[in-house]
Amino acid sequence: MRWKVWAAALLVVTGLGGGAWALGLLPGPSSCTGGTVRVSVAAQPEIAPALRDVASRFNVEEHRVGGRCVRARVTAVAPAEFARRPELRRHADAWVPESSVWLGIVRDAGGKDVPSGGTSLAETPVVLAMTRPVAEEFAADRVAMSWKLLFKDKADGVGLARRAADPAVGISGAVAMLAVDQTGGKAGDVAAALRASAPSPTDDASGGSAAVLTGLTTAGRLDRSLVVTTEQAAVAYNDAHRPNPVTPIVPDEGTLMLDHPYAVTARDRRHRDAAAAFGDALGARSARNALQQAGFRAPDGTFGDAYARDHGLSATPPRALRFPTSKELAEALSSWKR
């Protein structure tokens, strides 16, 4: 499986079932007399707020398993932290990392408390982002929006301040290394520049795709900031930084998507069934709408037409990069550590 290929290479450098309702997980207006089953969900910080909104509605609706009410609680946890700390995994009934890659990382490191796969809740492409003035300058100068910009010090004679997340904490950084290799560059040639400006895990909750956006306004006066992030992180940034938006652009060669899997990690049957009930709720239309409002695409990579138009984004999935071989991935990622 392709995500297992990613996981194996990342280690070089560093079920959700469909029959939940058949098990008696039925919503109802009446109170539950048999007590409460509390479901703890550890989620990627960027997606956690939307999942909390879904959990709030879920809890009011009084879903039940085995006669007991189910209550869901979502906590933002950086995937690298969740992967590193077994005690966090012991207290979680489900995990939503940014990518299925993380499931393989934990399992290959001996964490058999994490399943090999999950159900994608939402996708978001890895993109190049810049401020609107820089995007307008690029367009006026007819600068190609290519991954090749990552291995250039200048674009049309103007310096570039490039930034990406450390692949050990943000999968968008791993995609950047892969894209460089696929578009005629060598990851090792640009990793030093990207590594020097990568956010640390203390920059925000994850040190990943969202954290790199904090560097957009810190480039030298004559440099153009260019960061590798996700489309969703750019949308969220814009909502919080009006009227100074950033422009996310899918490079001409294409990109890879982060799939945000919902993986049930509970050990006992009751909590597994309860976690599956919440997982079913996350597939409802109201949950899809909440995730879209947070900037996430549907699991098939699409946006609603109106939402895409309002945000200046494409409603259809972006062109995909070629999926790398395990050797290509290992070489690209190991370059970050040199």
Written as six digits, the tokens of 227 are: 């960061």
Rg of the Cα atoms in the chain: 20
Angle between the N-to-C axes of helices 2-13 and 101-108, in degrees from 0 to 180, rounded to the nearest 10: 60
Angle between the N-to-C axes of helices 48-60 and 285-293, in degrees from 0 to 180, rounded to the nearest 10: 150
Q: What is the pLDDT along the chain (338 residues), one digit of tens a residue?
A: 565 556 655 655 553 333 333 333 444 445 666 689 999 999 999 999 999 999 999 999 888 898 899 999 999 999 999 999 999 999 999 999 999 989 988 998 899 999 999 999 999 999 999 998 899 999 998 999 999 999 888 888 888 888 888 888 888 988 998 898 888 888 877 887 787 666 655 444 455 788 888 767 655 555 788 999 999 999 999 988 877 789 999 999 999 999 999 999 999 999 999 999 999 999 999 999 999 999 999 999 999 999 999 999 999 999 999 887 777 777 766 777 76
| d(C-alpha 92, C-alpha 214), whole Å | 30
Give the strand pairing for 154-155 and 158-163.
antiparallel
Which pLDDT score is estimated for 58?
A: 96
Written as six digits, the tokens of 48 are: 């956690």
* Residue 327 phi, psi (nearest 5): -65, -45
Task: Read off the DSSP letter of residue 87.
Answer: H
Cis-peptide, bond into residue 97, ω within 30° of zero: no
Answering whether pTM is above 0.85, one says yes
In the chain the beta strands, taken as DSSP E runs, fall at 36-43, 64-65, 68-76, 94-96, 119-120, 124-131, 154-155, 158-163, 224-230, 246-249, 257-258, 261-264
What residues contact 162, with CB distance under 8 A and at least 6 apart? 149, 150, 190, 193, 194, 197, 226, 227
Max CA distance (Å), the chain: 71
Count of residues in the chain: 338
User: Closest Cα to residue 78, out of 206, 260, 211, 233?
Assistant: 206
Angle between the N-to-C axes of helices 326-334 and 2-13, in degrees from 0 to 180, rounded to the nearest 10: 30
Put the strands of the sheet holding 94-96 in their side by side order: 64-65, 68-76, 36-43, 94-96, 261-264, 119-120
